A and B are shown apart, each in its own frame.
Chain A
Amino acid sequence: MIRIFSILAGLFFTAALLWSFGNGAYSAITDPAAVTAEEMFHKHPKQLALASDGAFGNFDHRQLQRGFQVYQEVCSACHALSQVSYRDLKQLGYNDDEVKAIAAKAQVPAYNAKTGEVKSHKGLATDHFPPVVYGGQGTPPDLSLVTKARHGGGAYVYSLLTGYQNQPAELLKHFPDAKVPDGLHYNPYFVNLNIAMPPPLTGDGQVTYGDGTKASVDQMAKDVSAFLVWTAEPSLAKQHQTGWPVLGFLLFATVLAYMAYRNIWADKKH
């Protein structure tokens, strides 16, 4: 009895699926989905090699400091870094005094419960990076986690920063209506090709690196990408440093346990 019900239920589900399949196939033939401009022109991130890559990756502190400088002087005009606190910067190799000095340059808003006012105070090492007020077009995302929040991670940020170009004539040939809207900028690494952010890194020497590295656009883009990999995962190096001994121990323990197993089962055919 149960098998009759079962077969009836099976026919019900399979018939409904065939119905959907047939309809879907019919419309796929008669009305095939048109290729979109995004599908044709969107590009995957370029290659970017960072010191933090791979299972032995560690942060290059000098590069992180350069990237931090690019963030401070360029990105921070529009993008917040709310998950990061100034004291975290010690991990980049700054000492206490340098961290305090960096924090003191910022104005951090705080609510005063006695007066009811929101007043800014000079940043302290314990403060997080303050929120950024932005009134222009688009919504600049918080950058704290951006390299974990996009496919491609640091390579995506690097590609985006160096990927601005004129809209290809071929695109307009295929999609005459797809002209870049006013105020947006063509960038094939951005998800829908048109990004509100104007090219932030415009020319060599936009920042002056303290360590003498030449500040080319490519170099600045690499450095700030490396910095944002750090802001998203400050414990990355520690993960790698902890991971190897853990795996080493587990390998040893596994081999030992395997030998114990072989020993115990030695006389037992199975």
Chain B
Amino acid sequence: MIKVSHINKSFEGTPVLKDINASFEKGKVNLIIGQSGSGKTVLLKTIVGLHQPDSGDIWYDERNFTGMDAEDRKDVRQEMGMLFQGSALFDSLTVEENVRFPLDMFTRKSMEERIERVNTCLVRVNLYNVNKLYPSELSGGMQKRVAIARAIALNPKYLFCDEPNSGLDPRTAIVIDELIQELTQEFCMTTIVNTHDMNSVFGIGENVIFIYQGEKYWEGSGEDIFRCDNKELNDFIFASDILKKIRDL
């Protein structure tokens, strides 16, 4: 479980996150939704420690992440896997080397064991015969799957995904969503996904947090959204005509 309490963050005097309190449950896909520029990515990057909050605490289970020094944080970091918006695969490494990277850095396994683990992770994300290809030779959806394989290589307890569907066609986006959901349940991870894709919200949103102008405006499940009367959330979710029609059915 990950808990954030009273998180504030500003950049050059401009507040981006304002007193955010939230709990992200274990074994569930927790979504952070909101418009572009609402502070979703800053919140996610603050949770993983890429940004230092101005105030507030972040708890990984019983461990206060914000109170740790860099050395102590390393232990928590090795329990994290992260999928970035643009996949962020290392251009100069092959698919196999990308997935093997965390194993090379943090384990003492033999090369055979590491390659076996790489193959297990690649098969788990439905990728075959791509070990020797470079990221530039893969489609966007395949790159995302390689990034997921790299993120789960060390069996993380916490999985973070920053807009995993951006730039993907709707069908591939659903495949990625389903994969994230399956992996979350299979490994009982605490998963946090940043998204503004409505298919994700209704498809895998077990616990949804809506951020509006840096503040938490609403929290509930994907199904609760239909019954919610929060104006800002409704304006965001039902912005398109097709979703308005679905709501009115």
Partners in one complex: no
Residue positions of A touching B, CB distance < 8 A: none
Residue positions of B touching A, CB distance < 8 A: none
